[in-house]
Amino acid sequence: MIGRGIDQILPVTSHPELHESAITDARDYVWLAERANGTIPRGVGYEYVWGDALDEMRRAAPDLRVVNLETSITRSDDWQPKGINYRMRPENVTCLTAAHVDCADLANNHVLDYGRDGFVETLSVLHGAGVKTAGAGANAAEARAPAVLPVGPATRVLVLGIGSRSSGIPPEWGATEHRPGVNLWDGPVARTTAYVREALAGVRRPGDVVVASLHWGENFGYAIPERHRTLARALIDECGVDVIHGHSSHHVKGIEVYRNKLVLHGCGDFIDDYEGISGHEAYRGDLSLMYFVDVDGRSGSLNDVRMVPMRIRRFRLERASAFDARWLAEMLNREGASFRTSVGLDADGALRLRWH
């Protein structure tokens, strides 16, 4: 979520006017963060927000970097009356390329915050920067089509983005045959699996690894809806999905491994401008995880998940303290108990997923 307040500290800023009930100037989010943790520089370089995460990514050298991007990237002033609007200036797309993001899932409740023209510009800016997109497009066919990401000469990763109205996506944002928008789908589980099979048909090849990136559920709360568990398992059983990349919750949730396939029910926010906002401190939304997922390229089976704890401070990611890493470990062990998953702490402070 690198729009709104974060956009205001980048080299080129959007007009700060907001249309929220409590805050009408995006710069106030910067002030709230500064009140909590100290001065934030303005006009920062594009690597600033990633902070210590860049060194972690360099060390891990992942084949691909996939994010859920919750902001429009546009000059459009066509704000939608939905309460909260995220926007970043197109010049600031370098913020994403500075972290070498390969693919952005856009099937979420902020990508059309500044109207359809703003959304079309968002697509154009991302594609022009070499960032592939999933979960949204110029029409329904494009929105449903998975992003195809080659990994070496013989392996590809397919990223299929789907948004649920349970995450706050307005129903009119769904793409149609003649209208741009997001891949919005909330049918029964059986119909959803048929829909996903159809989306993969004609694209998937033997040996492809499939990631279903799902924007679902509410912002806060550890409970996993039974429908989410059922859908995740059906996508694995019936559609051959290898990784469920779930998001929408503003905090990390419990992790499941089903038939040796990873199910992230809620990744939490990696970077946002919520710093200094009170109300849900018990969930520690200021703590983020970098998920380094190792999947077998032939079978899609899970080999390893290493998670690096981070903390959002002064709109920048820094390595979490030992205390915060233990807090995350205890939470994941508690919430993973019903899934028979747990985590251990590596010597470097990273978390390692264990499953049975």
Contact status, residue 163 vs residue 183, Cβ threshold 8 Å = yes
Q: What angle do CA 79, 287, 57 make, to 5 degrees?
A: 90
- Least confident among 75-79, 278-282, 312-316: 278-282
Say if CB 275 and CB 313 are below 8 A apart: yes
Residues 216, 251: contact at Cβ < 8 Å?
Answer: no
Identify which of 3, 145, 187, 156 has the alpha carbon closest to the alpha carbon of residue 79: 3
Query: pLDDT band for position 152 (50/70/90)?
Result: confident
Confidence of residue 95 (pLDDT cuts 50, 70, 90): very high
Neighbours of 25 (CB within 10 A): 15
The least confident of 43-52, 60-69, 106-115, 147-156 is: 147-156
pLDDT at 301 over 90: yes
Residues 6+ positions from 103 with CB-CB distance below 8 Å: 64, 65, 66, 67, 131, 132, 133, 134, 147, 149, 159
For 318-335, how does the pLDDT look when each residue is reduced to its tens digit (9 = 90+)? 999 999 999 999 999 999
Q: Is the predicted pLDDT of residue 109 greater than 90, yes or no?
A: yes
Measuring CA to CA, how many Å separate 175 from each of 37, 70, 137?
Answer: 41, 17, 7
Read off the pLDDT band of 153 (50, 70, 90): confident
Q: Which two tokens stand for residue 177?
A: 């045959």
Confidence of residue 352 (pLDDT cuts 50, 70, 90): very high
> What is the reported pLDDT for 298?
87
Q: Could you count the other beta carbons within 10 Å of the beta carbon of residue 117? A: 16
Residues 146/134, Cβ–Cβ less than 8 Å: yes
Q: What rounded mean pLDDT belongs to the chain? A: 97
Report the Cα 95 to chain-centroid distance in Å: 15
Which pLDDT score is estimated for 356?
87
Task: Assess contact for 56 and 308: CB atoms under 8 A.
Answer: yes
Least Cα distance to 212 among 195, 225, 198, 196 occurs for 196
Confidence of residue 256 (pLDDT cuts 50, 70, 90): very high
